[in-house]
Structure 1
Amino acid sequence: MGRTVGIMVVLSGLCFLPCCSLRHYILVTQPKTWEDAQSYCRSTYTNLATVQTENQLAELNQLIGSDPSVWIGLSAHTEAWRWSLENQDYYGRGEADFRMWKAEEPNGDGYYKVCVAMSAVGTWMDQLCIQTFSFICYNAGTQDSSSGFILVNESMSWTNAQQYCRLHHTDLASVRNQAENDRMTTMLQHEYTWIGLYRDSWKWSDGSPLTVSNWDLDNPPSATSIGICVVSKFGKWKSRDCRSQSNFACFVEPAVRKQVVQVWLEKSDSSVDMEDLKDDLLQQRLKEHGLNTGVQLRWVEHPDGKVFQKKTSGTEEEKICTPK
């Protein structure tokens, strides 16, 4: 005769309704300044609209439609240039501030061109981060720091180059002094080559990173001073004085739900170790309930460190516990 064993599963962020979305946008047709719109969204919903994926950008554009001017949660901040490699132990006194700008650089339109490339003669220029150039990575741990520079002859955007360097090496290269700048110059094979200097000027109101953008390239954003915010106009982003008034878009995210589900299983083969099968059973439960996105499952362990316990009393039934 088979034995029954009790198992418990925690479901986090569970959403059974097909209409449930991870993010929902709301268009508010009450013209306000950017700051007042932000306050309204934070008090009534979650925050001014932010986007982190192309799908979210498409949803927001569909909501805005033909509205000619809608605040979104992006604004410019006065920030100093900084290196991608943030380990302060790498820089000696004043080395993080070494610059080798070409004459009249940086000359980007305010906060628009915020990534830096080295020219073939070793001078620096600000560039659009979406441009694709070769780049120089840095490997930490080498005795001679200059020997840790690696030229990568692949054309990538600055962000993709940063990701590549962090995955395969340490980071995009910092330039701490004239000797290192001269060393890198001898390595260059193209007109422009990315280095690790950038200016993180545009920020979402909820603090999330700017991973997706949709600037109107025919009218680049200008942020020559603090107090510049962003509107979406027919799906394209434009800079505007934060003190002007526009309709605005908010977003709201549903609260994460946590449920404890207690299930009784019958084991027909006493030689089977259920602990060895717990991961497979977890995946099976996902498939049975059609749960694949926005859901995290984990076992609740008993004090002895095990998931499964022999049933000693009670009826064989599935119990849904109060969410906690």
Structure 2
Amino acid sequence: MDCMILILVFLGFSLHSCSHFPPRKYYYVNLAKNWTDAQLYCRGKYSDLATIVSMDDISRLQPTFTYSWAWIGMADDPKSWRDSMGNDSNSWRSSATGETSKTGYQNWIVNQPANENGNEKCVAMYTNGKWYDAPCEGIRTFVCYNVTNQNTKTYVFISTSKRWTDARDYCREHYTDLPMIENNVENNAVYSAKPASAQPWIGLYRMPWTWSDKTQSSFTHWQNGSPTNYVGDQYCNSETPLHEWSAGTCSIKLPFICHQVSKVKTTVRMKFKTRADITDPATNTQILQQLDAELKRRGWTDFKLRWKIQPKKQEEEKFTEPPCS
């Protein structure tokens, strides 16, 4: 059984969390640009439009602004959820899998989804079988689905009205989940399970707003009453002089905030004990891919991985590598 030392070198990494290291440095740019142009400017001269994931980040921002608002790097691109099913982090996902659609199937009512008032993150089925987005806090009936031993899906209408999350939990406890609809046959089956007048929850939801640099964070600092999307085109985020967030129309020209992430180099030594040939290119590529995926899942971004395998010690050397434990 081979015992080998794997050295992983992280070049220019950043860990996005409340204990973020290295800390971002923020730069206020007093140029009036729309959100897209501001993003391009920041990516050209710094790291990106400002990412803000904690109150510690906010404490490092400039105390006052020249203008009332300034763009930051948060947006809710409608191409990812309105014009198609999409596969971005703010796209529609299935409750049953937590993943975006594999088929791209959609059955929206005309002019839906609309995200009216900026808070429509869940999906219901209209009386005619078409879909529309709605506030998840709304109370309505729902349909659950179950999978039999023959891998056949059956659908059950639940007449008790619940919020979307409570409906999901009920379905998971008593059946499989809220319906995952990937084709017209499944949509018709859900439609047939409900009464004609019912408008039940189905298993589509999304998490709006993403950071320009793809950082994943649940931290928010919205101004009271925001976001609203009251004119139907407020998909980009800005900061007020109090560093509170307010959604606005992306074409408006505002000053903006960029951030720069310091580049550091960190080496992580990992010891492997395996029967596999780690020197095999296919094997070490697979290992790096798995590490890359796991680190990104944990919130690491902007890093590169490479490895070095220490040469085998010559028999005549006095120093011997300790056995793997």
User: What TM bracket, shorter-length normalisation?
Assistant: 0.5 to 0.7
Please, which of 170, 178, 182 is the counterpart of residue 192 of structure 2? Answer: 182
Matched, 1:313 2:317: yes
Residues 7 and 309, structure 1, Cα contact 8 Å, conserved in 2: no
Matched, 1:72 2:82: no
Percent identity over paired residues: 22
Find the counterpart in structure 2 of residue 127 from structure 1: 134
Please, which of 57, 61, 67 is the counterpart of residue 60 of structure 1? Answer: 57
Matched, 1:117 2:124: yes
Deviation at 1:50, TM superposition (A): 2.8
- SS of the equivalent of 1:97 reads coil
Deviation at 1:156, TM superposition (A): 7.3
Supply the distance in 2 between the matched residues of 1:248 and 1:173 (Cα, whole angstroms). 40
CA-atom RMSD in angstroms: 5.5
Deviation at 1:43, TM superposition (A): 1.4
| Amino acid in structure 2 at the alignment position of 1:236 | E
Structure 2 unaligned spans of 5+: 14-18, 86-91, 95-100, 275-298
Counterparts in 2 of 1:69 and 1:154: CA distance versus 1, 3 Å: same
Supply the distance in 1 between the matched residues of 2:247 and 2:122 (Cα, whole angstroms). 19
Deviation at 1:208, TM superposition (A): 5.0
Counterparts in 2 of 1:302 and 1:204: CA distance versus 1, 3 Å: closer
Please, which of 80, 93, 106 is the counterpart of residue 97 of structure 1? Answer: 106
Please, which of 212, 223, 242 is the counterpart of residue 216 of structure 1? Answer: 223
Deviation at 1:310, TM superposition (A): 6.7
Find the counterpart in structure 1 of residue 102 from structure 2: 87
Supply the distance in 1 between the matched residues of 2:7 and 2:84 (Cα, whole angstroms). 45
| Amino acid in structure 1 at the alignment position of 2:124 | A
Taking the TM superposition and a 5 Å limit, the aligned residue runs for 1:106-255 are 108-109=115-116, 112-117=119-124, 126-129=133-136, 138=145, 145-147=152-154, 173-174=180-181, 176=184, 177-184=187-194, 194-198=201-205, 202-207=209-214, 211-222=218-229, 224=231, 228-233=235-240, 234-255=242-263
Counterparts in 2 of 1:244 and 1:11: CA distance versus 1, 3 Å: same
Residues 70 and 231, structure 1, Cα contact 8 Å, conserved in 2: yes
Counterparts in 2 of 1:309 and 1:201: CA distance versus 1, 3 Å: same
Deviation at 1:230, TM superposition (A): 1.2
Cα distance per residue 1:66-100 (max 9 Å; x no partner): 54422111234342364534122xx8xxxx33357
Supply the distance in 2 between the matched residues of 1:48 and 1:160 (Cα, whole angstroms). 38
Residues 130 and 157, structure 1, Cα contact 8 Å, conserved in 2: yes
| Amino acid in structure 1 at the alignment position of 2:316 | T
Which structure: larger Rg?
Answer: 1
| Amino acid in structure 2 at the alignment position of 1:30 | N
Cα distance per residue 1:2-51 (max 9 Å; x no partner): xxxx9745254499xxx981451403141331233212210122111234
Supply the distance in 1 between the matched residues of 2:127 and 2:148 (Cα, whole angstroms). 27
Residues 74 and 204, structure 1, Cα contact 8 Å, conserved in 2: yes
- SS of the equivalent of 1:238 reads strand
Matched, 1:46 2:54: no
Cα distance per residue 1:124-180 (max 9 Å; x no partner): 6532357798975655676585416697x9977669959x97xx9587532843442
Counterparts in 2 of 1:37 and 1:105: CA distance versus 1, 3 Å: closer
TM norm structure 1: 0.54
Structure 1 unaligned spans of 5+: 1-5, 264-273, 277-292, 318-324
- SS of the equivalent of 1:147 reads strand
Residues 137 and 150, structure 1, Cα contact 8 Å, conserved in 2: yes
